[in-house]
Structure 1
Amino acid sequence: MARRIPPLNPLRVFEVVARTENLTAASRELHVSQSAVSRQIAVLEKYVGVELFRRERHGVVLTRAGKDYAEEIVPAFEAIAAATGKLTKASAQGSLRVRTYTTFAAKWLIPHLPDFKRRHPDIDVRIFNAVPDVDFDRDAVDLAIQFGDGHWPRSKTDLLFHDEIEPVCSPAYLKREAGRKGPEELLRKRLLVSQYRRSDWDDWLAAHRLQAQAAQAERMSFSSSILTWQAALDGLGVAIGQPALLRAELDAGQLVRPFGKPLKREKAHYLVRPEVQRESRKVMAFRDWLLESVGQDRNHI
């Protein structure tokens, strides 16, 4: 048998009037007129078929039935308010939980985090690493930084930067392996490949019509981009780099871009947050800072 529950808006009005025992105070709390309060009470009385208030000269007074009803209804609304407060407090307070993948965390986010902490020393940031797409219902995080096309179910996104790739190597490797022959000589040597981005080399070569030059090159694979770039730093070969994540190494001259021919692709890095979410101060502070910092880096590259 279905439960018989009155319309919730009139019930909420009844709870406030019963608690305050004053139409004026109730109308202020509910941000409506006294006449609107009276109409809602009338709707509830019609639904339950019982008079809940007596209209007297100086206001309203609960009837005996109204008092009995209020003894059950007022605590129920207090429990609802407490549960809601607990839920919203959990999302608004505590640590800011950010999920991303290891390469972005190590090469961009962590080097930039000291600036965020200087601006917001009271916000504790916790970084969680994972490759699969975030599911905010399953994963206990507030935000995620993901790589993709910008379309994830039940999520809002902010574009950070597009996926731009090009070969990188150490200056010593370039001098030793290419010499005066030019950078294309590197394509005949050793190409360093990241397992998670196996198509990068082929995409870049095809975009610049250099497949033939690299047809016989040795390919050495690594389990992550970080390891691949470390191999390039150590002179093992030439790797496909993402300049946005290698800014420190490029600025310091530890890595060079021998071809100077970047390839900009469709996918990009995005900040992802739940579509339905209370925009807490910690979330908005991080989002504003991240977009500002990425914009500054984009202008630098």
Structure 2
Amino acid sequence: MARRDLPPLRALTAFEAAARLGSFRMAAGELGITRSAVSHQIKLLEQRLDVQLFRRDARRAELTTHGQSYFPAVREAFDQIEAQTRALRPANTDKELTIQVYVTVALKWLIPRLHDFERRFPDVKVRLSTSYFDWNFDERNVDVGIILARTKLPGHYYRPLFKSYLVPVCSPKMKLTKPQDLANAKLIDVYTAEEDWHIWLEGAGVTGVKPANRLTVDSYILAQEAAVEGRGAAMTIGPYAAEEIKLGRLVQPFPLRVPHKHNWYFACSTANRNKNKIKRFEDWLVKQVAADPALEAIKE
């Protein structure tokens, strides 16, 4: 029987992660390797296939036509392997809880509180699946999600958690006294939420502000860190800059906070809503939100 003509698994894994996440850097974080290692594995795959899979000059890991054609088959194969792997170990399904959470929410809010959940429910092993995209619930790979719900899909259960507000922040060294000063300042954009500055400026009643230049990053936490370094003014959501403001690393130059178009929700598959591990986490999460004075809980 002829040997299968398959590329190396490491190269396929790097390609699938980079294509799915849209970033070599995020793929490296998920796989626990360096960005250069991801790039190297994809280069090996391209040499094996003799086609180019990504455009190297793109800001993101943008697939070529060949990459777009190859990715669905690779991802489907990985999904099937993962599904069958899970099916072979059903005894563990109620003892592991995989939580999809936006990276900034994880670092700035959830992780410092998780010890309480683990103390209360020591039989549940928690796994975090951090994402740089905050709105798509990935039910094939996680049990529950904390998401900024833009759309509510059928077959899913959504429970409102807290309201989302846009707040500009910057280094104390950056002198901004009125919103119009932003016209002469560098603004830091999150490329998955490029409308944020427009929403805030419109809410502030400011028109005609066209900043001279911008810096674009792929998460709110990177935007905040760039602002700490004095690279420009960043937009943040909710209380995620609270610690930096408390420490004096950042300031909120304007008192106005503008409601975002979307709010934060707990999400899971409707079919799994009443599973013991999911119900316990949902109840615990809602209590944590209610106890945080920095959050404005949404009442059902």
TM over 0.5: yes
Q: Kindly indicate whether the alpha-carbon contact (under 8 Å) linking 2:164 and 2:238 is maintained by their aligned counterparts in 1.
A: no
- 1:116 and 1:280 mapped to 2: Cα distance? 16
Distance 2:112 2:155 in 1: 30
Query: In the alignment, which residue of structure 1 is the partner of 2:130?
Result: 129
SS at 1:172's partner residue? coil
Does the CA contact (< 8 Å) of 2:162 and 2:295 recur in 1?
Answer: no
Question: What residue in structure 2 maps to residue 209 of structure 1?
Answer: 205
Q: Say whether 1:243 aligns with 2:246.
A: no
Q: Give the aligned residue type for 1:158.
A: R
**Alignment CA distance shift 1:223-1:135 (3 Å):** closer
1:166 aligns with 2:167: yes
Verify: 1:224 aligned to 2:219, yes or no.
Answer: yes
| Structure 2 residue aligned with 1:196 | 192
Distance 2:203 2:178 in 1: 19
Shift of 1:243: 2.6
Counterpart of 1:146 in structure 2 is 147
Query: Aligned equivalents of 2:285 and 2:154: distance in 1?
Result: 22
User: How far is 1:300 from its partner?
Assistant: 6.0
Distance 1:239 1:154 in 2: 36
- Partner SS, residue 260 of structure 2: strand
Matches of 2:138 and 2:181, distance apart in 1: 45
Letter in 1 for 2:243: A
- Kept in 2: contact 1:159–1:271 (CA 8 A): yes
User: Does residue 253 of the first structure (1) align with residue 256 of the second (2)?
Assistant: no
Distance of aligned partners of 1:112 and 1:262 in 2 relative to their CA distance in 1, 3 Å threshold: same
Alpha-carbon spacing, 1:149–1:133, altered in 2? closer, same or farther (3 Å): closer
8 Å contact kept, 2:199–2:260: no
Question: Residue deviations 1:141-194, cap 9 Å, x none?
Answer: 211122124622201111111221021112232xxx34xx55643442111111
Q: Look up the equivalent residue of 2:224 and give its one-letter code.
A: W
The answer on 1:108 being equivalent to 2:102 is no
Q: What is the CA–CA distance in structure 2 between the aligned matches of 1:105 and 1:185, rounded to whole Å?
A: 32
> 1:276 is aligned with what amino acid?
A
Q: What SS is found at the alignment partner of 1:239?
A: strand
Which one has the bigger helix percentage? Answer: 1
What per-residue deviation string (whole Å, max 9, x for no partner) do you get for residues 178-211 of structure 1?
4xx5564344211111111111111111221223
Structure 2 CA distance for partners of 1:111 and 1:217, relative to 1, 3 Å: farther
Identity %: 30
Displacement of 1:222 after TM fit? Answer: 1.2
Aligned length: 207
With structure 1 as the length reference, what TM-score do the two structures score? 0.61
CA distance in 1, matches of 2:211, 2:152: 38
Distance 1:164 1:193 in 2: 16
Give the CA deviation at 1:117.
2.3
Instruction: Find the residue that maps to 1:276 and give its secondary structure.
Output: helix
CA apart distance, 1:101: 2.7
Secondary structure of the 2:164 match is strand
Worse-matched range after superposition: 223-232 or 251-260: 251-260
Distance 1:209 1:217, change over 3 A: farther
